[in-house]
Amino acid sequence: MTVPNSTRRGPRGFGVSGWVPLAAGAVLLIGCSSTVTGHPAASAPNTGTQQVAAQLSTLMPDAAQFPAEYEAVVLPPEAAAQAAGDLTGVGRGATVQPDGCVPPAQQFGSNQTAVAVGTDNRTRATMTVELTRTGQPLSALREQLKRCQQVHVSKAGATTTVTTELQTPPPIDVDDTLALRRTVVPQVSTAGLTQSMQTLTGQVADVRITVTYMTFGDAKPDTTALNELFTTAVRRVEKG
């Protein structure tokens, strides 16, 4: 399946698309049986899902609430859409195999998706908070990830392998949680191009909170900072 097209760019040397570009060759991938044009649409709302009334922009942790070494900025909608592709390993315009493994569609408006990225300029690591509106339970994503532990993504002649490993979910009292470890490895491997992520996700009513530590290479993730930022993000949404 092919997901809609996008261009990745960024002024810095490390981070998430729009602010920290993936190195050349880590472009995300081309070719299954069906093609989607235009921008992805969000899943149809589940009328049984409770809603958080506050605007997503007001629920995002402040820059001061990010770990001290991570300089944080809030991304505009287009950059947020690009960053979302980095975090799943599947950029817009890419083809994913096997079929059925394209990440859930989402909308990228001011109250549909909010993304803030904190960058540690010393280590090239980023800490990203993504808040999204969804009508689907987190269990649906969990079941997809179980089926799609390894996928091949193609785009513009480049291919990467995205491997996702579900881990013990974080012990926090929300509707549902999951944790995963993900790597994005280009077919033509070069030192410094492997994208490694540790992600914690929780859901409060119709808001999904995803916090990801990302780096290039095999550096050990800063799990303490990740856990602290995830807890902060969840509490902000709960208070909303």
Instruction: Transcribe 138-171 into DSSP letters.
Output: HHHHHHHHHH-SEEEEEETTEEEEEEEEEEPPP-
Q: For residue 231, how many C-alpha atoms fall within 13 Å in the half-sphere facing its CB?
A: 10
44 in a domain, yes or no? no
Domain that holds residue 69: 56-239
29 in a domain, yes or no? no
Checking if the pLDDT of 45 tops 90, the result is no
30 in a domain, yes or no? no
Domain count, the chain: 1
CA-to-CA distance for 77 and 141, rounded, in angstroms? 23
- pLDDT at residue 33, rounded to an integer: 31
48 in a domain, yes or no? no
**Pairing state of beta strands 207-216 and 195-204?**
antiparallel
- pLDDT at residue 192, rounded to an integer: 66
Checking if the pLDDT of 18 tops 50, the result is no
12 in a domain, yes or no? no
21 or 208, which is more confident: 208
CATH number of the domain enclosing 76: 3.40.1000.70
CA-to-CA distance for 34 and 28, rounded, in angstroms? 17
Question: Which has the minimum average pLDDT: 33-42, 149-158, 224-233?
Answer: 33-42
% of the chain surpassing 70 pLDDT = 78
Please, which pLDDT band fits residue 115 given cuts at 50, 70 and 90? Answer: very high
41 in a domain, yes or no? no
Please give the span between the terminal C-alpha atoms of the chain, in angstroms, as a whole number.
36
Question: Which has the minimum average pLDDT: 34-43, 74-83, 189-198, 223-232?
Answer: 34-43
Checking if the pLDDT of 125 tops 90, the result is yes
19 in a domain, yes or no? no
Average pLDDT value for the chain: 82
Residues 129, 233: contact at Cβ < 8 Å? Answer: yes
Q: What is the pLDDT of residues 198-236, one digit of tens each?
A: 999 999 999 999 999 999 877 788 999 999 999 999 999
Checking if the pLDDT of 173 tops 70, the result is yes
33 in a domain, yes or no? no
Model confidence, pTM: 0.80
